[in-house]
Structure 1
Amino acid sequence: MADKKKLTYWQLRAIRNEEKSHEAANNKIPIITNAYIRAQNYLTGEVQQIYRRYFTNGPYTEAQVEEILNTHVSPTELVTLRALAKNITDSESKKQVTDYLSALAAKERITRLEELKAKSYIAVKQVSSVEVQESTDLYTKVIQQAWNEATAEGVIGAVGKDVKLFEKGYVPQIDKETKQISILNPETGKEVTKVKAVPEKAITSFKELSGKYVKAALNTPFYGRNYSQRIWHNTDKLAERLSELFTAQQMSWMSERDMAKAISEEFGSGMANAKRLIRTEANFFHSTTKVAGWKQRGIEEYELVAVLDKRTSAICRHMDGKVFKVSEAKVGITLDPFHPHCRTTPVVHFASSEYADTRTANNPNTGKQFKIDQDKTYRDWEQIINSERKK
């Protein structure tokens, strides 16, 4: 007989590992957030210097501000700008900054406005470099972990198929010399198949995925862009919005405090985009890698499991408990993520298994957790919570 707890363990482990990938994403967020804050503080300081040096007797007309911003700066400032770009490690971000500065160097003179915009551009690209580096590290680990899970689940799935044969009435006969089991049809007495009788070995490690496979997985487009392209796109948009702040028209009516607030809001928007991206794409890489691994190992079906709390979206409430074919998995339709910050996860589904256990649910009425049958869905949980509230 199969070990009921062992089969349940692998299904529950899949949910816990998805939670771990979310936690890993959350651990990266402070690092990326700090990069945004450093860039914001640097740029705010540079803008403050301009305000305190040139705009202390304001307000100024747009024409007066434009005249100040169009004054030329020393050519040595280009050296300073290049020095700022030295700590950018991401190759694409570095290339973008190099191209930007090369275009600036081609001009005879650089204005104070161009210098300020260049500093804002470099500051943002320093952020994108950190974001790409931290995201790459996270997603690489998520992909390897998900592949390991799929490998283990493939083994358990194969065990389940063997168990099903035994439960249907096949009588195993072991040959002591060859150490093979002959499975006989109890009705005819004829041999159905032979399998090696070897002790079950504990799964302690898995083969590391090749760099080529991981790179291909990382480059998989998610709604039109891969993760690094999305980071560059988001940071480019941030640089554009900052650039729009630094115009004579804007600075003629914005006080130093107003400008600092506007810069803070733009970086705040950038941080929100970064948090949404890293959480959502960690979910994407985890789920799509699991599906790829399942396909290789003959797993036929998977089930979607939503987090049982009030933050769960309407679509994930609807998808909770649904079973789909691995061959038909499609992100956003039958496979998570279904939306930004999605917490739903796919778990292997053993269609022939009668084994069930419990899953953990959150109780918003008491603030505590409780156990619910594993085969219960979000809708069942909601009914339990609502009926309890009415008591």
Structure 2
Amino acid sequence: MADKDKLTYWQLRAVRNEQKAHDDANEKVEIITRAYLRAQRYLGDQVNDIYKRYFDNGNYTAAQAEEIMNTAVSPTELVTLRALAKNVTDVESKKQVTDYLSALAAKGRITRLEELQAKSYIAVKQAASVEIEHSTGLYTKVIQDAWNQAAAEKIIGDVTKDVQLYEKGYVAELDKAKRQIRIADPETGKEITTVSAVPEKKVTEFKQLSTRYVKQALNEQWHGKNYSQRIWNNTDKLADRLQELFTAQQMSGMSEREMAQAIEKEFGAGIYNAKRLIRTEANYFHNKIKLDSWKERGVEEYQLVAVLDKRTSQICRHMDGKVFKVKDAEVGTDYPPLHPNCRTVAVIHFANSLYTGTRNANNPNTGKKFKINQDATYRDWERMINE
């Protein structure tokens, strides 16, 4: 960043608030991960039962495995599957499971293989329900916090953007006759600037967000989907990959241990996708809602601030410190998230701000944090840790 682009106190506060959203996301990640692991354990137990009951000696051909897995199960097993489906709470996921089981029931005969595949589908959709529930709660909070933060930035920034009130020890005095706040240097008495003590119009920045607005924001698509659709899509793919494991050919060619490892691998990929999604979406909502708020309040420019560590992507290294027009902002191009797992944050930019200060940076060589000037870019940080 150039000297004229140094971060103000309120910009630094915005970065810290984004970090809080990131930390809140990590708390939800733990809950969602546990849901996926529960589904993994359940499915692993179901597969182990089949191996122990039918494939215990390990000496079986693909034809024998196919015969075993194509054996019809008791009609009461459909009742068991429907009882299992009651734990799917998300409306759309429940509809998907209901449609799945209805199609299965219409066949009139359910094989052992189809039963196992149905259990895998339901288990994954149970995890999807947990993911949607906790993601929705997180994003709702992020939306409300981001809106209020943007309001505070604009109101206070308008008053303080041209003066170093706290750093320089300037004194604010109220001139009742002129209805102004006079900012003066206490040593010389020289007037620095004045601020109107009466707003030109009623301040409405801290109005409560309507439920309709929050719902609309949650349902808004970016890059073709909203977060719920991405969860449904990700869990559909996970269910498909698991069902591909449960074929006579696969089961005849894999030991019980190998099958358990294959299931663990697929759920590991599912957990990774869930983590990446919730962190990326939290970043999206945090920054997108601020952008909407800035547009409503007439903010003209914003600045990108990247996290300074070795995990910072090439694109975020390049974009760190750059200033853009609010009216031209485009998510994924010049506005975060710039990529999955993006940690870059957009902060309000006042062109005439003179605030100085520092921000935290990580030194991967020592594992310790250190202070770096607000105007330092990713390249500056990189040079410092390599000196």
Same fold (TM over 0.5): yes
- AA at the equivalent of 2:143: I
Matches within 5 A, 1:243-262: 243-262=243-262
CA contact (8 A) 1:356 1:374 kept: yes
Q: TM-score, with normalisation over the residues of structure 1?
A: 0.87
- AA at the equivalent of 1:139: Y
Matches within 5 A, 1:61-76: 61-76=61-76
Q: Deviations over 1:20-68 (max 9, x none)?
A: 0110111111111111110011011111111111112332111111111
- Do the aligned partners of residues 354 and 110 (structure 1) sit closer, same or farther apart at CA in structure 2, a change above 3 Å counting? same
Give the Cα–Cα distance (whole angstroms) in 2 for the partners of residues 343 and 12 of structure 1. Answer: 15
In the other structure, the counterpart of 2:334 is: 334
SS at match of 2:14: helix
Specify every segment of 5 or more residues in structure 2 that has no aligned partner in the other structure, as ranges: 1-6, 165-172, 183-193
- AA at the equivalent of 2:265: E
In the other structure, the counterpart of 1:360 is: 360
Give the Cα–Cα distance (whole angstroms) in 2 for the partners of residues 304 and 332 of structure 1. Answer: 12
Matches within 5 A, 1:124-143: 124-143=124-143
Tell me the CA shift for residue 161 of structure 1. Answer: 6.7
CA contact (8 A) 2:238 2:270 kept: yes
- Do the aligned partners of residues 255 and 155 (structure 1) sit closer, same or farther apart at CA in structure 2, a change above 3 Å counting? same
Tell me the CA shift for residue 84 of structure 1. Answer: 0.4
Give the Cα–Cα distance (whole angstroms) in 1 for the partners of residues 117 and 126 of structure 2. Answer: 14
In the other structure, the counterpart of 1:220 is: 220
In the other structure, the counterpart of 1:123 is: 123
Tell me the CA shift for residue 233 of structure 1. Answer: 0.3
Matches within 5 A, 1:1-391: 8-160=8-160, 174=175, 176=177, 180-181=179-180, 195-197=196-198, 206-387=206-387
Specify every segment of 5 or more residues in structure 1 that has no aligned partner in the other structure, as ranges: 1-6, 165-171, 184-192
SS at match of 1:15: helix
Report the identity percentage. 69
In the other structure, the counterpart of 1:186 is: none
Give the Cα–Cα distance (whole angstroms) in 2 for the partners of residues 59 and 352 of structure 1. Answer: 78
- Do the aligned partners of residues 54 and 316 (structure 1) sit closer, same or farther apart at CA in structure 2, a change above 3 Å counting? same
- AA at the equivalent of 2:144: Q
Q: Deviations over 1:193-245 (max 9, x none)?
A: 995548xxxx9x94431111111111121221110100000000000001101
Give the Cα–Cα distance (whole angstroms) in 2 for the partners of residues 335 and 44 of structure 1. Answer: 42
SS at match of 2:100: helix
SS at match of 2:386: helix
Q: Deviations over 1:64-99 (max 9, x none)?
A: 111111111111111100110112111000010011
CA contact (8 A) 1:301 1:323 kept: yes
RMSD (CA atoms)? 2.4
Q: Deviations over 1:234-266 (max 9, x none)?
A: 000000001101111111111111111111111
CA contact (8 A) 2:320 2:377 kept: yes
Q: Which moved more, 1:23-32 or 1:52-61?
A: 52-61
SS at match of 1:360: strand
Give the Cα–Cα distance (whole angstroms) in 2 for the partners of residues 163 and 321 of structure 1. Answer: 22
- Do the aligned partners of residues 28 and 318 (structure 1) sit closer, same or farther apart at CA in structure 2, a change above 3 Å counting? same
Give the Cα–Cα distance (whole angstroms) in 2 for the partners of residues 157 and 230 of structure 1. Answer: 37
Q: How many residues align?
A: 358
- Do the aligned partners of residues 55 and 366 (structure 1) sit closer, same or farther apart at CA in structure 2, a change above 3 Å counting? closer
Q: Deviations over 1:110-148 (max 9, x none)?
A: 111111111000000001000111111111111111101
Q: Deviations over 1:315-352 (max 9, x none)?
A: 11111110111111111111111122111111111101
Tell me the CA shift for residue 180 of structure 1. Answer: 3.8
Give the Cα–Cα distance (whole angstroms) in 2 for the partners of residues 54 and 182 of structure 1. Answer: 85
